[in-house]
Amino acid sequence: GAGVSQSPSNKVTEKGKDVELRCDPISGHTALYWYRQSLGQGLEFLIYFQGNSAPDKSGLPSDRFSAERTGGSVSTLTIQRTQQEDSAVYLCASSLKETQYFGPGTRLLVL
Amino acid sequence: GEDVEQSLFLSVREGDSSVINCTYTDSSSTYLYWYKQEPGAGLQLLTYIFSNMDMKQDQRLTVLLNKKDKHLSLRIADTQTGDSAIYFCAEKRAGSYQLTFGKGTKLSVIP
C-alpha cells in the first residue's frame, strides 16, 4: 500500500524566505509526527498530532516554526524567515499504534 | 551522556554476520526499534521489540534485548552489500509518543 509521502523532496531557498513542507500520512493513521535530521543534532522530534487533539509543539526550535494538520490527514510544516541553521532533512512519520512509519523526507538547503 | 548511544561505524565482510549495538538510559522504555536509512532516503522500519521480550527473530534479523543492562543489539546474518546503510536504534518511553534516536551506526559491507 501507499506509504508516507512528502513534498517537495528537495528545496533550496534563500535566507529570510518562508518555506512550506507537506506530508501525506498513511491512510487511516491517526498520529502524525515531524522530525528534523541534521548533521550536528541527529534526529530531533519537532511536533506531534493525534486525531483532533491539540498538537504537542514542544520540540519546535523557535517561533519561526509552525505546523498544521487539516482534516486529520495532510500536514504542513512552515518555516518563516529561514536561517542557514534550518538546513536539514525534515522527516514526517505516521502511526496507528506503536510503530511509526517514515516518509522519504524533504531536504532543505538555506543559502 | 546521550539518551541512546550507538557506535558510529561498523565494517564487515560480505557473508559474515553483523552485530550493531545500542545502549539506552531510560528504564521506562516500552518499545525499542531498529530503522535503516540508505543514502538520500527516509527511515525504513526493520523491526521492533516490546520491552517484556528478550529476543525477536525475523528472517536474517535477530534482536536481543537485555533490559537489566539497557542494551539492545541487532544481528544481521549473511550480510549482503545491499545491507550497507545507517542503522538507527530508537526507544519509546512510557507515557510518551515521540521516539528518541541514537546517532546511527554506518554499516559498510566489504565485497
SS3 A19: strand
Contact between A21 and A77 (Cβ < 8 Å) = yes
- B88 and chain A: CB distance < 8 Å anywhere? yes
The residue of A56, A92, A101, A102 whose CB has the most chain B CBs within 10 angstroms, and thus the best one to mutate to test that interface, is: A102
B50 burial level (CB within 10 Å; 0-12, 13-18, 19+): exposed
Residue A42 reports pLDDT greater than 80: yes
Tell me if chain A has a CB within 8 Å of the CB of B42: yes
- For residue A104, the distance in angstroms to the closest alpha carbon of chain B comes to 4
pLDDT for res B24: 93
Test A91 with B43 for CB contact under 8 angstroms.
yes
pLDDT at B91 over 80: yes
Of A8-12, A19-23, A52-56, the poorest mean pLDDT is in: A52-56
Phi, psi of B94 (to 5 degrees): -60, 135
**What is the reported pLDDT for A39?**
83
Inter-chain touch A102–B102, beta carbons under 8 Å = no
The pLDDT of residue B26 is 86
Are the Cβ atoms of B42 and A102 closer than 8 angstroms?
yes
Q: Which amino acid is at A90?
A: Y
Interface of A with B (CB under 8 A): 4, 6, 31, 33, 35, 42-43, 45, 48, 50, 56, 59, 91, 93, 98-105
Query: Which of A83, A100, A61, A43 is closest to B92 using CA atoms?
Result: A100
A30 pLDDT exceeds 90?
Answer: yes
C-alpha span between B88 and B70 (Å, rounded): 16
Query: How far does B42 lie from chain A, in Å, by closest CA?
Result: 4
Q: How far apart are CA A32 and CA A24, in angstroms?
A: 9
Residue among B30, B45, B92 minimizing CB distance to A101 = B45
Higher local confidence (pLDDT), A70 or B81: B81
pLDDT at residue A1 in the model: 59
Say what the pLDDT of residue A71 is.
81
List the single residue in A with minimal CA-CA distance to B8. A42
B88 and A43 within 8 Å at the Cβ level: the answer is: yes
Q: Mean pLDDT across chain A, nearest whole number? A: 94
Work out the number of other CB atoms within 10 angstroms of the CB of residue A45.
Answer: 20
What pLDDT digit, counting tens, does each position of A52-96 carry?
A: 888 999 999 999 999 999 887 999 999 999 999 999 999 999 999
Mean pLDDT, residues B80-92: 96
Question: What is the β-pairing status of strands B71-76 and B85-93?
Answer: unpaired
